[in-house]
């Protein structure tokens, strides 16, 4: 018995020794920066000078009724999330079902084509869509002029009303290919006998999708939803490259608001507080999605 315990202890010790490098990196690159950010968020600091402890004042200023910028940024993040989990996910799911269940020839090639936006650098995507939305010679306005819709021509990224819808179109185009490829892989793993049984019961294609495909990929669905949620609150590069948060604050998201406060206006303590609030929001939504997934599995 003692020999067995020693062997178990030795095996556990070896396992823990292998975990030490990963744990050291996790603590050094995740835990320590988070703790430091929280400490900075309790100060008034410009990033270079002395840190002045002010307690929770930064958080009070963030959630104060007079801070309309944060509300705009939070609203835009939720719009980003809504467009991702409705339009992008729906397009991806529809295309995946058509490619796999529709028995299209060359479906793998189509999956690669749809996945290309994900492979591209976000800066490349931003430059391309900047050209598409360009007010005088861009594709959108040129096509509208050709079909006689000159009165609807707008500076899409320079108008407070149209800037977010224009950016959301880019987000959908940038995201749906990922959903298509993931759902295609999930649908391919479904047992074909389930579809044969559904056909024998006289189920239509829609009924097969709703009663066989959708329940079978539910775990994949929740995983994709979780990833889309995290990406929606972490979005920064497209905003930075295409609008710099403008016009005014119309296209601000929390991550860009954090960057602008910390590195442009040199309000590093306030920017750290914004980063902490963003982390808390992502953490809460992640817990909610995980709990929902666990309940469905039970």
Domain boundaries, given as residue ranges, for the chain? 2-35, 68-297
What pLDDT is attached to residue 268? Answer: 94
Burial tier of 192 (Cβ tally within 10 Å: 0-12, 13-18, 19+): exposed
pLDDT of residue 292: 77
pLDDT in tens, 241-265: 999 999 999 999 999 999 999 999 9
Residue 171: how many other CB atoms lie within 10 Å: 22
Among residues of the chain, what percentage have pLDDT more than 70? 95
| 67-121 tens-digit pLDDT | 999 999 999 999 999 999 999 999 999 989 888 887 667 777 877 788 888 888 8
Range 161-167 contact pairs with CB under 8 angstroms and sequence separation of 24 or more: 163/243, 163/246, 163/247, 163/250, 163/251, 164/76, 164/79, 164/250, 164/251, 166/133, 167/238, 167/239, 167/242, 167/243, 167/251
Residues of the chain with pLDDT under 70: 1-9, 103-104, 296-298
DSSP string, 123-173: HHHHHHHHHHH-TTT-HHHHHHHHTT-GGG---TTTSTTTHHHHHHHHHHH
**Reported CATH class of domain 68-297:** mainly alpha
């Amino acid at each position: 018995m003692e020999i067995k315990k020693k062997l178990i202890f030795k095996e556990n010790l070896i396992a823990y020794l292998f975990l030490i490098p990963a744990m050291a990196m996790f603590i050094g690159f995740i835990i320590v920066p988070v703790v430091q950010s929280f400490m900075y968020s309790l100060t008034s600091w410009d990033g270079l000078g002395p840190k002045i402890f002010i307690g929770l004042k930064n958080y009070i200023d963030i959630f104060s009724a007079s801070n309309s910028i944060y509300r705009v940024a939070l609203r835009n993040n939720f719009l980003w999330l809504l467009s991702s989990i409705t339009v992008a996910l729906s397009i991806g799911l529809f295309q995946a079902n058509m490619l796999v269940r529709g028995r299209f020839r060359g479906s793998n090639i189509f999956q690669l084509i749809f996945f290309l936006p994900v492979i591209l650098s976000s800066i490349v995507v931003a430059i391309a869509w900047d050209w598409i939305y360009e007010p005088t010679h861009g594709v959108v306005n040129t096509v509208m002029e050709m079909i006689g819709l000159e009165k609807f021509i707008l500076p899409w990224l320079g108008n407070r009303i149209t800037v977010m819808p224009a950016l959301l179109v880019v987000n959908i185009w940038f995201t749906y290919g990922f959903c298509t490829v993931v759902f295609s892989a999930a649908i391919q793993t479904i047992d074909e006998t389930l579809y044969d049984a559904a056909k024998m019961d006289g189920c239509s294609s829609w009924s097969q999708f709703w009663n066989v495909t959708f329940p079978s990929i539910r775990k994949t669905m929740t995983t994709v939803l979780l990833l889309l949620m995290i990406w929606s609150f972490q979005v920064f590069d497209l905003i930075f490259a295409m609008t710099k948060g403008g016009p005014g604050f119309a296209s601000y998201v929390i991550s860009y608001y954090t960057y602008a406060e910390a590195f442009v206006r040199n309000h590093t303590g306030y920017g750290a507080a914004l980063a902490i609030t963003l982390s808390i929001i992502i953490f809460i939504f992640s817990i909610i999605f995980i709990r929902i997934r666990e309940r469905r599995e039970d």
